[in-house]
Structure 1
């Protein structure tokens, strides 16, 4: 059965190659990529490299994508490999229905139609009728090589031109309509050209196939730019102009830059910035942001230096925060007032734009200014409102450890900004004496055990981790032993039954110690939700492990994840990484302080 290119693209997107290949080969970082000893031939030094969307062995020549790897490593057939990967990715393999086959044929046909249309537009650019468009492109500083590389063209001002150009290719009106090259006529009229008297910019997908066009008028007609309508090949929210070229340049190490328009991208490519892309006339979408992160973990977003540019930067930052993670972030670059990348490169050459890139700020540094605006708040009410906005912005970051880092950084900037010239700085806080470490450790152990007593369904999941803890001697160790003994001989994990068992087996005092209400977290309450109880237990487990032990646990979890690609190992690795970061920030001591001194 033939599978549609869109389905296979989605399958590859949902199957990260490092995780898949890491089950059979020990991967180590090599810059932005991974390397290993080839799983297909015996070698002592690594020559097998894993990239974003393919692998390649420089020793034996093995090469392919996720489907190829399963086929080569397991001897599976194509459909067997697809079905296995689809099951892991949560995708349904399309059924071989006549309708599906017809859609596949139409998609293949539409790619051919779009390729033919691009050739027709390019041919007209070099005819006498296209001379004004060619002059315009040359006045903008584009060389013949750049015009050819981007496939630029001209849509005739004669109605019916595209249909006439593609008729010898056997392209029918229905295909022109489906490809977005013509639109339905009004009042029974024949279909009309979608692009009429415009400079044409082909829009390509990651694989370099033309999926749509953009058109710019040479006169005063509005809108100045138009894009193809949504089609089976083209989704405006997902596409980026210049993506195919940027993918190759990013692979060679070029910095990925998102700018505003077609001409900005083309001018930057011509000036040597080959990983420039642009959204299609609108602000960046979540889908386009994901495409940028597929190219690089830290793309640069470039904005105008005026008020509109500041608003665009703020919108992009707000969107990025909801998708931010430790392994992916942004940098923000601001152009000089009145300039765009095209004009800046034209006046000052590549060095002028390179200076803008060099001055780009990490999102973490730019965010405070974007939220606070130009002037610091002057009244207590305004300062309180800003503080709430800063905290709310950090809270939108899904990764809790990263969100905590951003919150701390933003509030540090907030308090620093309050001490303006002429204003008395905020008096320092008087530090209170540190709590007794033994008491803090005892309270952490008590909270962890109380959570398990209220939610014993957690015991099978955390049994191994609980055994690793070096608990204080006395009621904590006695309760742990009692929990293990109860777990080995019980079928129903019921809190009331566990409490009754502890009360009647000589552990009444230890039970009373653990369940004393003062200082217990919400996770140790009977009404706590399962997710809240689970996260609460792991929180106290991580508090009770020393940093050296946590680092060793982290390494073991990483080895386990690389070897198995197991989601549980990935989650454990994430929690351990967060705990180590929190410990180094001093948050673990702060939490232990709170637990030890709670009334």
Structure 2
């Protein structure tokens, strides 16, 4: 375009940016929509849905999850992250609706100066998707929804995918408030045994190797009331604790084993090489399905460790008692593929 009065001019992108007050990225998405179907700029919620109050919290979260899922499918940087983690598994991505928050959610919202734009932002802030400053809470993150057996969304987990982050940046994010829900709950009723990981990334590492009776805590101290309820509901009799083989993971595993025994559940410890977690192990194995099957087969019973914890709680500790040897010492690491490193 060119204005002969003020001599302003430029491309069609410049025109859309100037006339609609959009960024270059937003303008490009708008023009894509003119050429055809573009989910990236379709309204997240129609104005009449807001006016009639026909969309609730679950409906709103479901649409956010669908948008993030579509974004991941078309985002090279997110695909590259999954490949580095060896989680580029089409069934995993589809079944669990993995997504990517790439800072474009606002493109699907009316401008904030309008009533509908202000209202939808208020609702998204209420569920924790947007922060008070209007930015996406999980921006720059792989997004893993935690869904119930009926599809309801209890939690969203975000893992920052960039390696170029300041030390102060939080890499693991959740929706504000207490944790709710149990990941992969729908699959846990098929067996009386389950694998319990420290993180969702680790649980997905087991899942892609064919170990489908797996779930995750919210960190080493993140076994919640919802977890215990699911254990009872599905009559779980045996839990294989697959926490990291480090000090925090081992100490938490012993305490959890004691709690499991008190509930009548048999605890076993899945032992990784020293200092490793499930995803690092996945990234190093030439034949991960076989390697993870062996891990499960060699899981170490923890009844004795749990009994030790129960005894320590009842007996005063002597002033000069030597520390007992850990019952969780890792076995020698199995052979790994040279020069394959998990980032």
Q: Classify the TM-score, shorter chain.
A: 0.5 to 0.7
State whether structure 2 residue 145 is matched by structure 1 residue 205: no
Q: 1:217 aligns with which of 160, 171, 176?
A: 160
Q: Cα distance 1:391–1:109, how it changes in 2: closer, same or farther (>3 A)?
A: same
Aligned equivalents of 2:142, 2:224: Cα separation in 1:
29
Task: Please say which of residues 345-354 and 219-228 is displaced more in the overlay.
Answer: 345-354
Further displaced range: 284-293 or 134-143:
284-293
In structure 2, which of residues 113, 120, 123 is the aligned counterpart of residue 175 of structure 1? 123
The alpha carbon displacement at 1:171 in A equals: 7.6
Distance 1:107 1:229 in 2: 24
Change (3 A) 1:243 1:152: same
| Deviation digits for residues 385-419 of structure 1 (CA, Å, limit 9, x no counterpart) | xx9627559xxxxxxxxxxxxxxxxxxxx9xxxxx
**Equivalent residue in structure 1 for 2:244, among 304, 308, 311:** 304
Aligned position for 1:355: 294
- The correspondence of residues 172-571 of structure 1 with structure 2, limited to 5 A, is 172-185=120-133, 191-219=134-162, 220-221=165-166, 222-230=169-177, 235-236=178-179, 238-244=180-186, 246-247=187-188, 250-251=189-190, 253=191, 255-287=193-225, 288-295=227-234, 296-321=236-261, 323-325=262-264, 328-346=265-283, 347=285, 348-367=287-306, 371=309, 389=312, 391-392=314-315
Partner of 1:111: 58
Greater Rg by CA? 1
Q: Please state whether the residue corresponding to 1:331 is helix, strand or coil.
A: strand
Q: In the TM superposition, what is the alpha-carbon distance from 1:195 to its structure 2 partner?
A: 1.7
Aligned partners of 2:141 and 2:250: how far apart in 1? Answer: 31
* CA–CA separation in structure 2 for the residues paired with 1:212 and 1:107: 22
Alpha-carbon distance in structure 2 between the residues aligned to 1:171 and 1:242: 33
Q: 1:196 to 1:255 in 2, by over 3 A?
A: same
Q: Is the 8 A contact 1:162 1:193 kept in 2?
A: no
Shift, 1:146, TM fit = 1.9
TM-score relative to the length of structure 2: 0.64
Distance 1:356 1:261 in 2: 17
CA distance in 1, matches of 2:150, 2:229: 17
Retained in 1: the 8 A contact 2:254–2:305?
no
Gaps of 5+ in 1: 1-104, 186-190, 372-386, 394-413, 415-599
Check the 8 A contact 1:254/1:274 in 2, yes or no.
Answer: no
Cα displacement (A) at 1:117: 0.5
Q: Deviations over 1:172-230 (max 9, x none)?
A: 22321222111223xxxxx3321212111112123332232111112225211101113
- Secondary structure at the aligned position of 1:182 is classed as coil
The separation in 2 between residues aligned to 1:208 and 1:135, in whole angstroms, is 28
Q: 2: distance between equivalents of 1:259 and 1:106?
A: 40
Deviation at 1:264, TM superposition (A): 1.5
State the Cα distance separating 1:361 from its structure 2 match: 3.4
Q: Determine the C-alpha separation between the residues in 2 that align with 1:170 and 1:243.
A: 36
The Cα of 1:260 is off from its aligned counterpart by 1.4
1:299 alignment partner, SS class: strand
Aligned counterparts of 1:392 and 1:289: Cα–Cα separation in 2: 27
CA 267–333 in structure 1, closer or farther in 2 if over 3 Å, else same: closer
CA deviation after TM superposition for structure 1 residue 272, in Å: 0.9
| 2:257 and 2:305 in contact (8 A); partners too | no
For the 8 Å contact 2:103–2:136, the answer to whether it is kept is no
Q: 1:331 to 1:290 in 2, by over 3 A?
A: farther
With normalisation by structure 1, the TM-score equals 0.38
Three-state SS of the structure 2 residue aligned to 1:334 is coil
Partners in 1 of 2:277 and 2:251 — Cα distance?
Answer: 16
- 2:154 partner SS: strand
Change in Cα spacing, 1:198 to 1:345, as seen in structure 2 (3 Å) is closer
Higher relative contact order (CA 8 A, sep 6+): 2
| TM-fit CA distance, 1:111 | 1.1
Flag the 1:114–1:329 CA change in 2: closer, same or farther, 3 A. Answer: same
Shift of 1:107: 11
Contact map agreement 1:239 1:280 (CA 8 A) in 2: no
Q: Indicate which of 77, 99, 109 corresponds to 1:132.
A: 77
Q: Is the 8 A contact 1:292 1:299 kept in 2?
A: no
Number of residue pairs matched by the alignment: 254
Q: Is the 8 A contact 1:240 1:278 kept in 2?
A: yes
1:258, 1:300 within 8 Å by CA — same for their partners in 2? yes
Do 2:239 and 2:266's aligned partners in 1 also have CA atoms closer than 8 Å?
A: yes
Q: 1:318 to 1:114 in 2, by over 3 A?
A: same
Give 1:334 shift: 2.2
Contact kept in structure 1, 2:78 and 2:161, CA below 8 Å = yes
